[in-house]
Chains A and B, each alone.
Chain A
Amino acid sequence: GAGVSQSPRYKVAKRGQDVALRCDPISGHVSLFWYQQALGQGPEFLTYFQNEAQLDKSGLPSDRFFAERPEGSVSTLKIQRTQQEDSAVYLCASSLAVVTGGPTEQYFGPGTRLTVT
């Protein structure tokens, strides 16, 4: 596709419900990142995939958060038993992840705004 897409764009969940957020990266991009952006804050790293391997999940705030990328393309971020503090915009980014030649650009999707009531 032309860019990173995310769905749904908006999600309202009642406290305690499970949610699943989808990210479609740019075709051919090896690396995929999830970030959480609370209101008025900068994005904060959640987790990172290289192809289907989850290489870094140090930013996941609790074991209620789970991410997967089973075929190395589409990724899903799942939040179980949502809490009010989970309300935020969840951003997905992808990149080519070329190791040599300098930093690679992360291309961001529009985000999913999650509101937990």
Chain B
Amino acid sequence: AQSVTQLGSHVSVSEGALVLLRCNYSSSVPPYLFWYVQYPNQGLQLLLKYTSAATLVKGINGFEAEFKKSETSFHLTKPSAHMSDAAEYFCAVSKTGFQKLVFGTGTRLLVSP
């Protein structure tokens, strides 16, 4: 069965600092991996997705993630945090890319001025 583990339920950074949100996956086959962001009382919005075309994936709002098969990781980064980045972030895995998503438990990003 596929699963993802997100280390750290809360991450706090200062505005302008590096953002690093961790995600490790468990999959018996090459997975499709996704990062979603959820703002309060809103649905999930896709930040980026790994398609196996490139290991470094760039997404919206300046976020990017690197797929590392040797570490079974897909960590999300952003060089400089902005106040508007404060939200809940979910890593997700899909076996085929068009079927159900299996989500991690989420990481809440707090950005202080």
Chain A residues at the B interface, C-beta cutoff of 8 Å: 4, 31, 33, 35, 40-45, 48, 56, 59, 91, 93, 95, 97-99, 102-106, 108-111
Chain B residues at the A interface, C-beta cutoff of 8 Å: 32, 34, 36, 41-46, 49, 51, 53, 90, 92, 94, 96-106
Q: Chain A nearest CB: distance from B40 CB in Å?
A: 11
Classify the secondary structure of A's interface with B.
Answer: loop
Q: Chain A nearest CB: distance from B30 CB in Å?
A: 12
Residues of A with C-beta under 8 A to B106: 40-42
Identity of the chain B residue whose Cβ is nearest the Cβ of A95 in the assembled complex: B98
Q: Chain B nearest CB: distance from A104 CB in Å?
A: 5
In-complex Cβ contact of A97 among B90, B92, B98 (8 A): B98
- List 5 contacting pairs A-B, 8 Å CB cutoff, sorted by A: A41-B106, A93-B44, A98-B98, A104-B98, A105-B46
Q: Chain B nearest CB: distance from A14 CB in Å?
A: 24
